[in-house]
Amino acid sequence: MQNVTTCPSCGGSGKVVKDKCPTCHGTGYNTKKVRKTVEIPAGIDNGQCVRIREYGEPGINGGPRGDLLVEVIVSGSRDFERQDVNIFSKASISYAIAALGGDIRIKTVDGDIIYTVAPGTQTGTRIRLKGKGVPSTRNKAIRGDHYVTLVVNTPTGLSKDAKEALKKFDELSGGSLTKEGGASTDSKKKKGFMDKLKESLDDL
């Protein structure tokens, strides 16, 4: 029976260093800290790694160095929320722009853009900015979209003139301020007529 094992003295290299270097202690390499600039590719997500060639541990018996894997931690944003390659955000619009339409400035990862809001836009409306999302790390030609939820700001601290103008607007648009209990004046008139008709039938 014959057993074959690696020599504990030379580690399989075939030679033994008698006078070891006081710096490397016979390992053949020295350990030191270096500062390396890492290029982060567009579209990288939290937890993904960037590979740096030949910055890992030295190989055995003079073999090539391994690679260094740098894990990327993406910090959060107050303006944007990411889901895969798509970006989500909110944008505030005034009551006047929501009703009449107009241009607003929307913040994107590429910078601010001008978007034209359609008249009669309701709060919670979601618009799509095609191609303004996150680039794909697998295919540079593919990029996600940016979805923006529009939020209508309710005016506060109105002046006397502004309140009168708003009341006038309400009268011209249906008079919601004059409605009581969810029934309009027309509904009350209709109800009164039906009551009178019922009373006439009862008399017959």
Mean per-residue pLDDT, 65-82: 93
Within-domain flag for 5: no
**What's the domain count of the chain?**
3
Instruction: State if pTM tops 0.75.
Output: no
Q: How far from chain centre, in Å, is Cα 172?
A: 41
C-beta of residue 26 within 8 angstroms of C-beta of residue 20: yes
With a CB cutoff of 8 Å and minimum separation 6, the contacts of 199 are: none
C-beta of residue 28 within 8 angstroms of C-beta of residue 62: yes
Within-domain flag for 55: yes
Domain boundary among 25, 43, 75: 75
| Residue 50 structural domain | 12-75
Within-domain flag for 204: no
Domain boundary among 75, 90, 120: 75
CA-closest candidate to residue 68, choices 55, 87, 82: 55
Amino acid at 48: Q
As a whole number of angstroms, the distance between CA 98 and CA 82 comes to 26
Same domain, 182 and 132: no
Percent of the chain residues topping a pLDDT of 90? 47
Same domain, 89 and 145: yes
Q: Hey, what are 95's tokens?
A: 């009551």
Mean per-residue pLDDT, 79-96: 94
Same domain, 66 and 21: yes
